[in-house]
Amino acid sequence: MNFLRQLDKASVKNNSLLCVGLDIDLSRIPPDFLKKEDPIFAFNKIIIDETRDVVCCYKPNIAFYEMCGIYGLQALIKTIEYIPEDIPVILDAKRGDVGHTAAAYAKSLFDVFKADAATVNPYMGYDSIKPFMEYREKGIFILCLTSNTSHRDFQENTEGKTPLYKQVAMHAKEWNIYGNCGLVAGATNPEELKEIRQIAEDMPLLIPGVGAQGGDLEHSVKYGITKDKNRAVINASRSIIYSDDPGGAAKKLRDEINSFRK
């Protein structure tokens, strides 16, 4: 089954647009876990067990696993294997390189780590993204307008007629011949998100920046969803996984998101 069908199915099954970001930082998890043989996996396992019925997907950011070296990457593989098959996994890696190198990255993310989808960086243009798109069963989320403050440096540059993030959205729409592309559009810019949804039509949007980053949930949902009130993947990481009750926090956020879908 391809990623988009997986996502739509999980979204219906759990009545959810919530994505939980598995961004594990060993310095922030409860000290008890550090005594375990495999603290990263032990922590993730609990998060997954408690949230698997209220999410439409999971999104580990590979940076937090790379930071722990070989051990971290082994824990990432184990984590992705543990995630129930009917919940797709977006591996947040923001890769991008010249064609033959991008093909090596695609092989890494999809064949080695077995992600169902990945995020990629558009700076180097079409030939740096094409090798990912050629995995037609996989989902590709192209960075468009990111949730960090400095996204303004280049993405919103208004010296030209069309800001860079809009150029990226329009190109992505055109490149999407296999129907497996989506865009990353931060919750911290709801007005721009509205424009991105118009350009993207029914492509999925991955929307980070609610929770710890303070993005606008109501408008992210209202402006991010398609006409069918779907395919806005709202990501929260720290506000869920470091909560005292991750399952409760995820359910509450899922329900809050749903209240804005109506």
Give catalytic residue positions: 94
The amino acid at 189: N
- Among the listed residues 82, 84, 154, 191, the single contact to a copy of itself using CB under 8 A: 154
Q: Does 10 bind a copy of itself (CB under 8 A)?
A: no
Of the candidate spans 30-38, 62-70, 227-235, 244-252, the one that interacts with a copy of itself by CB under 8 A turns out to be 62-70
**Span of 32-40, 49-57, 126-134, 250-258 interacting with a copy of itself by CB under 8 A:** 126-134
Residues 6+ apart with CB under 8 A from 70: none
How many CB atoms are located within 10 Å of the residue 150 CB?
Answer: 8
Longest dimension (CA), the chain: 56
Cβ distance 62 to 22 under 8 Å? Answer: no
Residue 122 vs 190, nearer CB to a copy of itself: 122
Residues 6 or more apart whose CB falls under 8 angstroms from that of 14 comprise 53, 54, 55, 56, 254
The residue within the footprint of a copy of itself, chosen from 35, 37, 85, 161 (CB under 8 A), is 161
Least separation, in Å, of the C-beta of 205 and a copy of itself? 17
Helix (H, G, I), strand (E, B) or coil at 119: strand
Choose between 11 and 188: whose C-beta lies nearer to a copy of itself. 188
Q: According to the binding rule CB under 8 A, does residue 31 interact with a copy of itself?
A: no
Sign of CA dihedral 28, 33, 36, 40: negative
Examine residue 239 and tell whether it contacts a copy of itself (CB under 8 A): no
Using CB under 8 A, pick the residue from 52, 59, 138, 151 that binds a copy of itself.
151
**Residue 139 host element (H or E):** strand 139-145
Token pair recorded at residue 254 = 């899922």
81 binds a copy of itself (CB under 8 A): no
Residue 123, interface with a copy of itself (CB under 8 A)? yes
CB of 231 to a copy of itself, least distance (A): 23
Q: Which stretch binds a copy of itself (CB under 8 A): 44-52, 81-89, 104-112, 254-262?
A: 104-112
Rounded distance, CA 28 to CA 132, Å? 33
